[in-house]
Amino acid sequence: MADWVATVALGNLASMQGDSTADSSTNKKKNSNLQEFWAPFLLLHLGGPDTITAYSLEDNELWLRHLLQLFVQVGVAFYIFLRSLSNSALTFIAIPVFISGIIKYGERNFVLRSVSNKYFKNYVLSTFDDDLIVPAGNDGINREDLHLVQAYFLFQRVEIFFAELILSTHERRRIYSIIEDMSAVEAFKAIEIELGFMYDVLYTKATIIYTRLGIFLRFLSFACSLSTLVLFFVIVNIRDHSQVDISISYSLLLGAFLLEIYAFFILFFSD
């Protein structure tokens, strides 16, 4: 429903833009400028949270449809932004939100494309390392961390099945060499962690978040959200706008900021 609500809201804002241009009332124009400030936030929320990009594997195959939606939604938001372009403070405050929204929405489309069947298969083949060393207890890793490291090694082997490929006999023996030394509880724990890794890859933004580029974009997006919240609080005079519009604006600002904070916690506490 987030996509549907944001799409309808952008359409309404675009149509309201024409109405506000024809109306010469000062109060109408002020309220209109504030409402047009919401357009970049809708892009931000269309990008979705870091913890989910798709509900099923079939969603990843529809990345071209989402790419078309990206161009359309950014185009509509940019149209609203250009029509409301003025020397008011709201115009300049909206720019960081626009940047953050494009980053978030772009990340979502990039992830959907990268884990679609064709591109994921190419990725797995290009990153598969036959020389990867099997982690063992004598490598100086404590017992608890060893399970995590071994589960990650197993995940790197097993993800090839999700790309509709098969493992060689040698790789199967390497996997068995780890599993055979585990108790039943440890083996199921390792599988649980493997499935967690696989879920992150197929259904979240993990493939881009856990990269240098992803970390840079995360800090940039966070800085944009924080600066917009502070500037809006300091610069905008709430008496110049209706109480309802001010409440909606603060809800969008705080919502975007809290989502960034939540994403950081997820990042640090994830396996």
For residue 32, name the pLDDT band (cuts at 50, 70, 90): low
Residues 259-268: b if buried by 16+ CB within 10 A, e if exposed:
bbeebeebee
Whether 106 shows a pLDDT value over 90: the answer reads yes
pLDDT of residue 113: 94
Q: Note the pTM of the prediction, 2 decimals.
A: 0.83
Whether 20 shows a pLDDT value over 80: the answer reads no
Q: CA 41 to CA 260: how far, in whole Å?
A: 13
For residue 257, name the pLDDT band (cuts at 50, 70, 90): confident
Whether 5 shows a pLDDT value over 70: the answer reads yes
Contacts of 17 (CB under 8 A, 6+ apart): 32, 36, 79, 80, 83, 84
Q: Each residue of 174-220: pLDDT tens digit?
A: 889 888 888 999 899 989 999 999 999 999 998 888 889 998 998 99
pLDDT of residue 120: 92
